[in-house]
Structure 1
Amino acid sequence: MRVFVTGATGFIGSAVVRELLSAGHRVVGLARSDASATALEAAGAEPYRGSLADPDGLAVAAKETDGVIHLAFDHSFTDHAGAGRADLRAVETMGAALEGTGKPLVVTSGMVTEPGLVATEDLPGDPRSAGAARVPSEAATLALAGRGVRASVLRLPASVHGRGDGGFVPRLIAVAREKGAAAVVGDGASTWPAVHRRDAARLFRLAVESAPAGARLHGVAEEGVPLRDIAAVIGRRLDVPVVRLTPEEAREHFGWFAGFASMDVRASSERTRTSLGWQPTGPTLLADLEDAGYFG
């Protein structure tokens, strides 16, 4: 297959590109800059200059390839609602270009985040969850399954980890360095699901190859890693105390990240594993914290 990948030079996207190429597929990667284009060429992929703000270009790329994996998203958190709207436009644009072709479109999303609930693939997107900005894109993707597109949604957990991670765990480490303490909210029993990026990349490949139309997939290797266990490793590695905070203290300690630091999420991938034969083999999150360069 010749696969168009948005977000192709990102932390997860670059692993997806390598996975696709190693499986014999050809890759066309969306490149917003000369540096991104150069990185894609070095990896063995074909760069396609453009951005999510260029709907005509996205439509052309989708039409000219055999399938699409959509990973690009603005994770700056400065305008999450705006990022969600841009994501929806991109999904609708590429979906319209693929209508009636039977080609695959795999769209990235986030987990349903309801405390006390083990999220499964059956659950619809929740506009109250931390990944609410992507819920409209989920709905638009699944609607395409009835319009001749082999469309699927691949939900990723809060922590997609590995060397080069720039996400949630590095933020916890940065705050601990700044504040001189690794903090948990309450007793720290709340959990984050997790997956190694190589395992996530393999799932994206399996999805574009064979996921059925209308599928919701969960890229989860660990159902839930307790935040107190993550904080314990951070405290030990930075030689700082681990402290318990009230929700009010957490807002002061973590700032804008407080909501993520107090998330309590569990998620299953049982149906995904069964349907696609996906078996995660990468290191656990706690093992990666020790060995993947998170502390410099």
Structure 2
Amino acid sequence: MEPIQHRAGRRVVVTGAGGFVGRAVVQTLLATGHRAIGVCRTAPDVPLPGGVEAVCADLATDPLPPVLAGLRPDTIIHCAGLTHAPETGEGRAALTAANLTATVRLIEAAARLPQPVRLVVVSSAAIYAPMPEGLAATTEDHPLRPAGAYGVSKAAATLHALAQAERLDLDLAVAVPFNVTGPGQPAHLVPQVFVARLRADPSAFALSNPQSVRDWVDVRDVAAALVMLGQPQGPRGVFNVATGLGHSLQEVLDVLCRIGGWQPVVREGAAHNVAGVTRSIGSPARLVAATGWTPRVSLEDSLRDMIRTAS
């Protein structure tokens, strides 16, 4: 598969534009000469980069065909979703509405547009089954067997997107980012959790699963991949957004301490959002072959920028 050719000047709608990944996508679009239009459920607390307009729409409940018709997108990059909810019936319902229902309705509305539109649906590595011993990296053909409610909702959205793309011949790709890190990461996710705890009291740092391994990919690299996948008539199917490298929580903690000059007293504590998964490493080979994308930000640089920009 030949790497895609970059074409600037498109009108690109970014759902969830006020979020962690969405903001980075908007910045990347602006830097590469595109017109970015943000769609947010509520008005963002902080203006979008470059003064980009933010259209307010709840993808799970609002009428979407007139919204999209008015925006006239060439591409839609669907970053909106919910990553965290209480382990209750209400929490699972919220994840289903934000991740599955919103995706179903967005694809339906996009399919009704009079002009062709490129769709990039952002999924998550939480959709995959646990990695067996001996497997170096997860490919896109790996079985789906999510361990938690978030992964279930994203797996359902992924399967729906692929089924509709096949049924309606949609110009659609699904991106599967692995553990996204970097400046602006939400406070409830690692490594941001580690940064906050180290700053608050390094002498009381709790870490119960130090050998859990993740493929940490910087949000700016993720945004670059999504923009590349957003090229009209681009590659279809599922594409991992990953580095192919695994680093344990202990390694992440060690790098943070070296950068920040912290000397924590580490004790055993509660698990850090690992959903029972010991190893999660992705193969980016399909994405690299299809687009020419490669990760450019090292884990250390990503963590350094996170510390510098964290409030």
Q: TM-score, normalised by structure 1?
A: 0.82
Matched, 1:105 2:119: yes
Q: Is the 8 A contact 2:178 2:241 kept in 1?
A: yes
Q: How far apart, in 2, do the equivalents of 1:175 and 1:275 lie?
A: 40
Pairs within 5 Å for 1:49-88: 49-56=56-63, 58-63=64-69, 64-78=72-86, 79-88=91-100
Residue 231 of structure 1 and its aligned partner are, at CA, apart by 2.4
CA deviation string 1:74-108 (max 9, x = no partner) = 23322145313332111111211232754211111
Residue 261 of structure 1 and its aligned partner are, at CA, apart by 8.2
Residue 234 of structure 1 and its aligned partner are, at CA, apart by 4.2
Q: Which moved more, 1:14-23 or 1:112-121?
A: 112-121
Q: How far apart, in 1, do the equivalents of 2:157 and 2:43 lie?
A: 29
CA separation of 1:234 and 1:212: change in aligned 2, threshold 3 A: closer
Aligned residue in 1 for 2:28: 19
Aligned residue in 1 for 2:7: none
Aligned residue in 2 for 1:221: 243
Task: Give the aligned residue type for 1:212.
Answer: P
Aligned residue in 2 for 1:133: 153
CA separation of 1:15 and 1:202: change in aligned 2, threshold 3 A: same
Residue 216 of structure 1 and its aligned partner are, at CA, apart by 0.6
Matched, 1:142 2:159: no
CA deviation string 1:184-237 (max 9, x = no partner) = 42xx33311111111111111111115323x11111125211222112234554
Aligned residue in 1 for 2:175: 154
Matched, 1:272 2:287: yes
Residue 127 of structure 1 and its aligned partner are, at CA, apart by 3.3
Aligned residue in 1 for 2:5: none
Residue 61 of structure 1 and its aligned partner are, at CA, apart by 3.2
CA separation of 1:127 and 1:59: change in aligned 2, threshold 3 A: farther
* Matched positions, count: 279
Q: Which moved more, 1:234-243 or 1:90-99?
A: 234-243
Identity of aligned residues (%): 26
* 2:39 match: secondary structure: strand
Matched, 1:95 2:110: no
Aligned residue in 1 for 2:141: 122
53, 70, 74: which is aligned to 1:46? Answer: 53
Task: Give the aligned residue type for 1:228.
Answer: Q
Task: Give the aligned residue type for 2:23.
Answer: S
Aligned residue in 1 for 2:270: 254
Q: Which moved more, 1:192-201 or 1:219-228?
A: 219-228
Q: Is the 8 A contact 1:52 1:90 kept in 2?
A: yes
Residue 124 of structure 1 and its aligned partner are, at CA, apart by 4.6
CA separation of 1:205 and 1:258: change in aligned 2, threshold 3 A: closer
Q: How far apart, in 1, do the equivalents of 2:290 and 2:96 lie?
A: 29
Alignment RMSD: 2.7
* 2:140 match: secondary structure: coil
Q: TM-score, normalised by structure 2?
A: 0.79
**Which structure has greater strand proportion?**
1
Q: Is the 8 A contact 1:184 1:262 kept in 2?
A: no
Q: How far apart, in 2, do the equivalents of 1:258 and 1:86 lie?
A: 19
Q: Is the 8 A contact 2:158 2:174 kept in 1?
A: yes
**Which structure has greater helix proportion?**
1
CA separation of 1:34 and 1:71: change in aligned 2, threshold 3 A: closer
